[in-house]
Amino acid sequence: PLAEFDLRDVSYRVCGPACHELQLPAPGTEGTAGTSGTPGTAVALRFPEEREAQQWWTVLSSSLREARR
């Protein structure tokens, strides 16, 4: 794999109806994704249709909730 991250360390936010952002932690900063002042990598996800974006959000948000239990 190119990179591996613990799902609990990943932050995900909806920027618009068809644009989402995946925030990945910087190497060696486990447990800090999306926290202020922590350098990491933001990956913009742009979807051709709002419906596809909603489906992606449903799957990923469910996985994130499960991982953080």
End-to-end CA distance of the chain: 26
Question: In 3D, which of 39, 36, 43, 40 has the Cα closest to residue 13?
Answer: 43
Question: In 3D, which of 59, 2, 51, 31 has the Cα closest to residue 11?
Answer: 31
Name the pTM for this structure: 0.70
pLDDT in tens, 10-57: 889 999 999 999 999 987 666 555 454 566 889 999 999 999 999 999
Which is higher by pLDDT, 1 or 60?
60
